[in-house]
Amino acid sequence: MEVPRWQRAWQVMRRLSYTALLLIHRAIERDEQAIAHWRRYRGRRERIAARRSV
């Protein structure tokens, strides 16, 4: 059974690391407070992990 052209094209794009997700650059569409909180949380989590590995 032959694969449809659209599916073949999608497979090729996926191999090239293409994603259908669109990056949002406009601050209005992004939740800046949530992003700042996540960055603080991520930094704290990494510091805790670094302390445990010593």
- What distance in Å separates the CA atoms of residue 6 and residue 28, rounded to the nearest whole number? 34
pLDDT digits (tens, 9 = 90+) for 1-53: 788 998 999 899 889 888 777 776 666 667 778 888 888 888 777 888 888 87
pLDDT digits (tens, 9 = 90+) for 30-41: 777 888 888 888
Residue 45 vs residues 21, 39, 42, 51: alpha-carbon distances, Å: 27, 10, 5, 10
pTM of the model: 0.35
Residues with Cβ within 8 Å of 30's Cβ and at least 6 positions away in sequence, in order, are 24
